[in-house]
């Protein structure tokens, strides 16, 4: 059917006004670089083995990050969007690095060491981890370039030294050690030197978390009053401790972008991730909702790019 000249002129006018052009797609709120709550990585057993998942720290945008046989645990973020994690496979345990944006995944070269519990330095240039040599039992704390290579050992085989966590200035590492007979927190200079004891007879469970300003640690421990697992903060200047949450919670991770602590909690009957106020006000936000076990939360640094 022929189209009249008036109709053609009308279509042209509409097109000139831009009314027939396709509107741009709305931005994806779950894109890695989109504004929103900080990014959270955690381990989940939803597929039988532990795999890593990521979500926003408000519980939105939840999706799988790794999959396949073997357990993927203990994630740590770099400022550039890499996640280091412990990969447990039939051949042993090692550390892998995954680019969240592209999915590229590679092993971190640490030589013959059996390595786990990685922690990216604040600038993303180095990875601290705990490891032991084949045929030995005691673990030590090491650092290595994020590109891999020859690791530097920072502790001295005195006992199990594990769970490294960086000071915000990148000059020291906090870790847990059994050298006093039970697990306490120590610190050691990254440039080398003797370890300094930070806590005494604290009965730490798991690794410490360091506050974004470097003034406090968050620690999981067994409550001497109730026998239940609790999370407490330790003021590194005054030595004062304060219980944040005592509902069978552990594995704390500070939220650098918005305050609060992500913790693994048994308060719902199975391990879930919740966000609690670091001030211990009692308010919380449940971040995961699944019958499978979720744990080892890690929150990306502020300004993830």
Average model confidence (pLDDT) across the chain? 89
Which pLDDT belongs to residue 18?
43
pLDDT < 50 regions, the chain: 1-21
pLDDT in tens, 111-120: 999 999 999 9
DSSP-assigned letters across all residues of the chain: -PPPHHHHHHHHHHHHTTTTSPPPPPP-TTSTTSSSSPEEEEEEEEESEEEEEEEETTS-S-EE---SSSEEEEEEE-TTSEEEEEEEETTEEEEEEEETTT--EEE---TT-EEEEEEE-TTSSEEEEEEE-TT----EEEEEETT----EE-S-SSS-EEEEEE-TTSSEEEEEE-TTSS-EEEEEETT----EE--SS--EEEEEEE-TTSSEEEEEEE-TTTSSEEEEEEETTT--EEEEE-SSEEEEEE-TTT--EEEEE-TTSS-EEEEE-TT--S-EEE----SS-EEEEEEPPTT--
Taken in order of first residue, the domains within the chain and their CATH numbers are 37-299 (2.120.10.30)
pLDDT in tens, 174-227: 999 998 888 999 999 999 999 999 999 888 999 999 999 999 999 999 987 888
């Amino acid at each position: 059917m022929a189209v009249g000249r008036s109709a053609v002129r009308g279509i042209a006018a509409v097109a000139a006004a831009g009314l027939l052009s396709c509107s741009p797609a709305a931005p994806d709120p779950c894109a890695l670089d989109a504004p929103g709550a900080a990014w959270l990585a955690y381990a989940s057993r939803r597929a039988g083995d532990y795999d890593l998942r990521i979500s926003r720290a408000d519980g939105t945008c939840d999706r799988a990050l790794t999959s396949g046989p073997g357990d993927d645990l203990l994630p740590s973020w770099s400022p550039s969007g890499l996640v280091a994690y412990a990969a447990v496979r039939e051949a042993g345990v090692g550390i892998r690095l995954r680019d969240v944006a592209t999915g590229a995944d590679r092993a971190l070269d640490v030589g013959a060491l059996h390595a786990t519990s990685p922690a990216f330095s604040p600038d993303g240039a180095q990875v601290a981890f705990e490891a032991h040599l084949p045929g030995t039992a005691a673990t030590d704390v090491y650092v290595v370039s994020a590109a891999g290579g020859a690791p530097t050992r920072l502790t001295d085989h005195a006992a199990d030294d594990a769970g490294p966590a960086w000071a915000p200035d990148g000059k020291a590492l906090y870790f847990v050690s059994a050298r006093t007979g039970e697990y306490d927190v120590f610190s050691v200079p990254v440039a080398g030197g003797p370890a300094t004891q930070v806590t005494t007879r604290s009965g730490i469970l798991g690794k410490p978390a360091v506050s974004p300003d470097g003034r406090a640690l968050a620690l999981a421990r067994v409550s001497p009053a109730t026998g239940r697992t609790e999370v407490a903060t330790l003021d590194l200047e005054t030595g004062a401790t304060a219980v944040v949450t005592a509902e069978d919670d552990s594995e704390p991770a500070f939220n650098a972008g918005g305050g609060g602590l992500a913790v693994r909690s048994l308060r719902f009957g199975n391990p879930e991730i919740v966000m609690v106020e670091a001030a211990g006000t009692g308010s919380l936000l449940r971040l995961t909702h699944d019958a499978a076990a979720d744990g080892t939360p890690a929150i990306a640094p502020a300004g993830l790019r």
